[in-house]
Structures are given as structure tokens and as C-alpha cells.
Structure 1
Amino acid sequence: MNCSSELENKIVKTGLCTSCGACQGLCPYWLSHRGKTIQMFSCDREEGRCYAFCPRTKTDLAKLREEFFPDADYIPEIGPFYGLYMTRAADADIRAKSQHGGTTTALVELAMRKGLIDAAILTDAKGGVNPKGVLVKKPQDVRKYSGSSFQIPPVLATLNKALEENRYKKIGVVGTPCKTLAVYKMKSRPFPDNDGNAGNIGMVFGLFCGWGLDWEGLEKLVQRHAAGKQLEHMDILPSKFHQMVLKTSKKQMEVPLEEIYPIVKGSCNYCVDMTAEFSDISVGGARSSEGWDVDQGWNQVIVRTEKGVKLIDLARKEGILEFKAVAESNLEKIKQASLNKKKTGLKNLRKLSGSKNNLIYLNPDEPGIEKACVDMA
């Protein structure tokens, strides 16, 4: 069977596809429409980048870590680790337009200004509905794309097209865990003679992620609660609030999670990575004893590589980020939340495969997976 048919039959039709876009922008055969990955034509390649880059095809996670994170400590629940920080953008304008503390926007902007990256693949969230991937070429344009969407656009198709153009040599990428894993599979150059200029990928900025939402399901939900209104922001609040928030310029609407759970994207049920373990820096919403009124303006940041250390130190030195002390309990809470996600994903993968030992795209002996399996026993 050729690689295109394998991808269609084993990933798309089984509901594993994350809609990340890693298979798109490489050839005419794969496209995306309203959150769905579509095979336009079959091809006769036995091996192809579309299959090799997919985050849901078989992946040797340990080998990827050995290649790209050789010096980092390894914490099975959350991956490579240099340190945990609590930060926010010092620029109040960035904070006002960002999802939480604006850390990702501030870091990407700084990395571009300092030449650590020369372009960036971001998501134009459009208030949370109908997002799309964008290639940003100027640091002053980064903040235009602050904010998040729970729909999942094929952002990596934009990366593939930028790599093909071969104009930028250090392209930064911001993405959720499925996307960042795909990026590192690209960086591993499975086909050295046909790597699509993967050496032009620069720093990778990961985003913590619990799950995304079905494209059409979210559109219908927004239509019910905010018909005819232009959304400016959406967010899932901490679990104790049990709600999603939709905001326009004049109104805030609270949607109970009972309306959200049925539209969670199916492939997210098979994800085992909450903190974007394959990235230079991972950023998520803050959680602390100070409560949500404070936490919603801050981020938790996991630094995973020496590049990440260099950037976070530069952000501190230049006053780009504000820092505050991280409670000793925070790391344990992130580890537990991440372990819980791994266990849920493994449970669903076992159900899908029909076998306790068949985890489809994961190796049961991989340390992070093995720990979750043991904890489930």
C-alpha cells in the first residue's frame, strides 16, 4: 500500500487525524476544508513526507528526544526540562490583546528582533472562529496575531509552503502539541535527499493544550450564543468554573461545559501530550493559589532547550517579560494534570485498537508512556 493510502486509511478514516496540516503544502494530493483533512487524489509513492511528518503515525519519541534534547533533564510526565517560570509580557498593550499573559507574543517578537528567528508561523485566531495559519515576516506584526482559537487550522501547511520557498532560514513555529511533534518529525529529516528545507526551521514555541473543538460544532455553538456578533476572544476557564467564555466588544457570554464536551474534536481523545513536550519553550495559562482574577494575566512557561534558556534570559535582561516566584507545588500540579491526560489518551487508544498493548502510534516502553501505563495498572 502506498503512503497516501496508508495515511487515509490508518489516520484520517480512523479519527486520529489532528488537522495540523503537516501533510499539506507538499504536493497537490492533500488539502484541508473547514477543519477536515481531505485526500484529493491518491499517489503511488511507497514512502512520503506526508506520512512521515504526521504526528499520529508511529513515532520513536525517545529517539527524537535524544537528537534534539540531549542535555535537558527528562521528566516523564512533561518531557525535557530546564526550568519552570511564571511570566507575563511587560508591555501592557500585548497583555491586553493576548489570551492570558502575552508571554508567547512577547517572546516571538523578541526572538525575531534579535535574529534568533527571521520569520514566524502563527495563527490568525480571528476572535476564535475560522482561524488560519500565517507567515509573519516583521517583528512589529507579531502582536497582530495574539489570542487563541479552539478550532484547529492546518497551520503547518503554511510552514511547508514557506520552507519550499526557501526564503527564510530560521522560521519560528508556534503550535499546540500535535503540531510541535510534527515539526520535530520534519526536523529529523526522515528523507535527507528530500527534506523540504527542514533545516530552515528555527525555534519552536509550544502551547499547552487540553483539547480542540470540532470546526462546525464550534460555529454552531457561537451562532447559538452570539449570533450576528463579532467575537474578540474565547477561553476555557479553570475546571472549578466549568464554563467557556465568549467575548464581544460589548458583552461576555458564559457557556457551560456540558455544551462544549460534545464538540471536542475526536482526535484529541487520543492525545497524550498536554504541555507540548517537543518545543524549545512551552507556554500555558497560569494556575496558582492567588486565584483566577490574578492568574488570567500570567503564564506558566517550561523551558526545554538551551535556545529556550537563552531567550528567556534575554527577555528578563531586556525587561520584555515580568517574572514572579513559582510556588513549589506548581510543578507537581502540572505533572499530575499531564499524567492524567496521558492516561486518558492511552485508555482511548487501547479502546480504538482493541488491545491493551497496541497503542497505535506510541511505543508502550517509551518512558513517559510506560509511567502512565504503570499508573493505570
Structure 2
Amino acid sequence: MDKNDKSSKGQQGININVLKQGLCTGCSACVNLCPSMEYYKDKTILLHDCNLDKGRCFTYCPRAPTDFEMLRRELFDPEDMVLELGSFKGLYMTRATNENIRTGAQHGGTVTALIQLALAQGIIDEAVLADNNDLLLPSAQPIADEDEVLEKARSKFVVSPTVSAFNRISRAGEGKIGVVATPCQAQALTKMKVNPVLEDKLRMEKLKLVIGLFCGWALDWRKFQKLMKEKAGDFKIKGMDIPPSNHACMEVYTIKGTIKVPIEEISNCVRDDCSYCFDMTCEFADISVGSARSKEGWDVDKGWNQLIVRTSKGAQLLALAREKGVLEFKKVPDNNIEKLKKASARKKHACLMNLAQKTGNWDDLIYIDSGDPVVRHIRGMNFGQQ
């Protein structure tokens, strides 16, 4: 076995082309597929050498070479494609009608309300959610009881091993599964669903719903834990949030009150691999949800979500939420779509710049095809000199 073989499409390929390149997102798609890979304290670990020339770890990795255009064709209606945002059936401003959800969940509680509805209506039998036992180092758990969903609410700014939990539970039972996923996790799930190896075809049929989360970056657990010890000491952290950029801070909620941490200090904790992410709005989902933005200001916006519907399945779930009175809707500000497109395009452009800088070649974007129509569109936009 040549441990320096860059052409390997097995574990060696993951090690050389992803882990050693600082590209691993921690999505955990390579875990719980075989005994050779493990996820431990925010790190993907190679437990044993694997001699396979081609492995599922490489096939499903979102940072291995990926034909995103093929995935889009397989998953979405062509007429819905917006190059900056992915499949787009509509943008909505929503929040849960249940005040307990709004109080206990992040922002408007839209994700919590939709997962509860999907469970209650039998759309899914269980949902894979990031756990709240430790907000600084979340795990991921399957939840079948809609009453337990709220216990898993609130944003976790450190990656949870969500896809490894999906890999584990999808091998057992016959239930329909929903997943709340970050962009890299949703990409991995899409690669599994669209092009599964033979032994995974049956279990991937169980994946019935993906609710995506907008994500600008995630935090390195080791760096973030050290910072939180400095800022919060031994006080229990109840939640965290990132207000709009003009606030220039992260709000950390403890039993003693709110601590505002300068965003510069938080930026020092961002995972290196997030510099190479091409997706801010979780494009490979049925519905994608983020925090609201409007002229009403943060005091109002932090109680609402903005939501992109991407698939017919997502549209049906949102219509059901309206019919059942699970979500409250309000008018989307006129310029929100354009603002979202610009923010997403900036994220994509930064990713492409960083990948090209890493390889020294705009034709070698590591995991993204340089001929992808979205890449060509972004490169043609006016972001200054490349």
C-alpha cells in the first residue's frame, strides 16, 4: 500500500487529499461505515489502515472531488435553480406559533416546529438532531418523540457528528428518517442518496427529509473551549448567538447573564476548513433555515427565521405547517433575496479564491469542478481582481 498515493479513492485518498490538506469539515460521513474511521472530540481519526483502492469514506466525503452539477440535476427542478443560492422555490419569514418553542429554540424556532410537525404527521419516524448535553461539544442523537425535539433546540457553533449518527441508525429498523444538517453534512447525505454503493441503497431509501441550516462557519472545539473558559469560567452556558455584523460580537448566555465576546476573538476559533466551503445556505436540503434580517433590527429579527424552500417535499411541509397553524408568516422585505444572493456569492467567491491559492491553479479547485456553471458565474461577477 502506497501511503502517498494521491490518486487513491479509499482511506489513503481521504488522508492525503482531505485530512492532511486541512479540508476535513468534521461532517462525520466517513464514520460508522467501517471500523477504520472514528470521530473523537471534533476530529476525524484514522484508527486502522485500510487497503481498499476505493472506499465509501472517499465516495461520500464532501471534500473529495464532487460533481455538484450532477447532484443538482438529480435532486432539483432545473427551473428552480438560482446560481447564487441553489434550488429556490421561495423565501419566507417564519416563526413557531408555539411560544414555548420560540422561547426555548433558536430565533423563531422554525426548525424545531417543522421537525415536530414531520414527526407528528408521520412524514418521518425519527430525526437525527444535534444534542444539547454539551453546547461546546455536541453529539448527535435520533429522536422519535416530538416532545423531545425542543430539548435539542438552539444553535451549536461546533460541528456535531450528525452524519455518523445517521449512518448508525439507518442500518437498523425500517423507519423513515429526517436530518437537520449543516451544508457540508447535507452535501455528504446527498452524495450518499444520489449515488449510493450497493450495500447502502436500502438504508438511503430511509432518508425522507433534510432540513438545512445556514452556516457561515463552525468553530474549532479546542480553541473555542479555551476561549469560553476565559470568558465564562465555570458558569453553565445555556445558549449562544451571533447578532448581525454591526454588533461585532457573539452573545453567550449563562446562568449569570449574557457575555458579549468580540467577534475578532471568535474568528480566531473558526475551523480552517471553513475557508474552503462553497455553500452558505445549505443548498442540498428540502428546506434551508437561517436567522432573519430586516430593517426592524436585531431585537425583532432574533425572534424570526428566514427560510428557503428547495424541493416539492419542502414546499409540501411548509404548506402543511401553514395549514396546521404551526408557523406564523410575515412579509419578506423587498431586498432580502438580493442581499442573500450577494452574501452567498461572496462566500462562494472567497472559497474559490482560497482553493485556487492553495493549488496555485484556477483550474484545480480540489473538490469542485472548475467548469461547474456556478463556478463560472461566480468568477464572472465583480469581486475585484482575482
Q: State the TM-score, normalized to the length of structure 1.
A: 0.97
* Structure 1 position 194, deviation (Å): 4.2
Corresponding residue for 1:340?
Answer: 346
CA–CA distance in structure 1, aligned partners of residues 135 and 17 of structure 2: 30
Q: Secondary structure at the match of 2:260?
A: strand
| Cα deviation, residue 72, structure 1 | 5.2
**1:167-191 C-alpha deviation (Å, 9 max, x unpaired):** 1432001011000011101101332
Aligned to 1:50: 57
Conserved? CA contact 2:196–2:204, under 8 Å: no
C-alpha deviation, 1:154, in angstroms: 1.5
Match of 1:94 in 2: 101
Q: Do structure 1's residue 300 and structure 2's residue 334 form an aligned pair?
A: no
Find the counterpart in structure 2 of residue 371 from structure 1: 377
| 1:234 to 1:258, Cα distance in 2 relative to 1, 3 A | same
> Deviation at 1:261?
1.2
1:274 aligns with 2:280: yes
Counterpart in 2 of 1:248? 254
Number of the residue aligned with 1:311:
317
For the Cα contact (< 8 Å) 2:132–2:151, is it kept in 1?
Answer: no
1:326 paired residue number: 332
| Residue 83 (structure 1) shift | 0.6
Q: Secondary structure at the match of 2:63?
A: coil
- Structure 1 residues 168 and 286, CA, compared in 2 at 3 Å: closer, same or farther? farther
Structure 1 segments (4+ residues) deviating >3 Å: 193-196
Aligned AA (1:82): K
Distance 1:72 1:139, change over 3 A: farther
Give the counterpart of 2:157 among 134, 150, 155.
150
- Describe the superposition over 1:40-75 as per-residue Cα deviations: whole angstroms up to 9, x where unpaired: 111121221111111111111111111111355100
Query: Partners of 1:371 and 1:125 in 2: how far apart?
Result: 39
Secondary structure of the residue aligned to 1:202 is strand
TM-score by length of 2: 0.95
Residue 93 of structure 1 aligns with an amino acid whose one-letter code is: N
Corresponding residue for residue 264 of structure 2: 258
Give distance in 2, aligned partners of 1:122 and 1:194. 21
For the 8 Å contact 1:126–1:232, the answer to whether it is kept is no
Give how far 1:27 is off.
Answer: 0.8
Unaligned runs of 5+ residues in structure 2 are 1-7
- Residue 120 of structure 2, aligned match among 113, 116, 136: 113
8 Å contact kept, 1:162–1:168: no
Question: Structure 1 CA distance, aligned partners of 2:204 and 2:363?
Answer: 33
Bigger drift between 40-49 and 77-86 goes to: 40-49
2:194 pairs with 1:188: yes
Match of 1:17 among 11, 24, 39: 24
State percent identity of aligned pairs.
43
Q: Give 2:47's aligned amino acid.
A: M
Map of 2:90 onto structure 1:
83
| Conserved? CA contact 1:119–1:135, under 8 Å | yes
1:69 corresponding residue in structure 2:
76
Alpha-carbon distance in 2 for matches of 1:104, 1:11: 31
SS at match of 1:288: coil
SS in 2 for 1:197: helix
- Matching residue's letter, 2:35: P
Compute the displacement of 1:370 (Å): 1.5
Distance 1:154 1:299 in 2: 24
1:216 maps to 222
Alpha-carbon separation, structure 1, partners of 2:200 and 2:95: 40
Corresponding position of 2:110:
103
Structure-2 separation of matches of 1:211 and 1:16? 13
Q: Secondary structure, in 3 states, of the residue corresponding to 2:296?
A: coil
Preserved contact between residue 235 and residue 256 of structure 2 (Cα < 8 Å)? no
Aligned to 1:171: 177
Shift of 1:36: 0.8
Q: Offset at 1:157?
A: 0.6
Cα pair 1:211 1:268 within 8 Å, conserved? yes
For residues 112 and 307 of structure 2, what CA distance do their matches in structure 1 show? 13
Mapped contact 1:127–1:148 kept (Cα < 8 A): no
Q: RMSD of the alignment, in Å?
A: 1.3
Q: In the aligned structure 1, how far is the partner of 2:354 from the partner of 2:133? A: 32
Deviation at 1:127, TM superposition (A): 5.9
Q: Name the CA distance, whole Å, in 2 between partners of 1:238 and 1:135.
A: 32
Gaps of 5+ in 1: none
Q: Deviations over 1:10-31 (max 9, x none)?
A: 1011100000110001111111
SS of the residue 1:263 aligns to: coil
> Contact (CA 8 Å) 2:9, 2:58: kept in 1 or not?
no
Is 1:34 matched up with 2:41? yes
The corresponding residue for 2:137 is 130
How far apart, CA to CA, are the structure 2 residues paired with 1:335 and 1:71? 18
Q: CA–CA distance in 2 between the matches of 1:373 and 1:125?
A: 40
CA-CA distance at 1:356 after TM superposition: 1.7
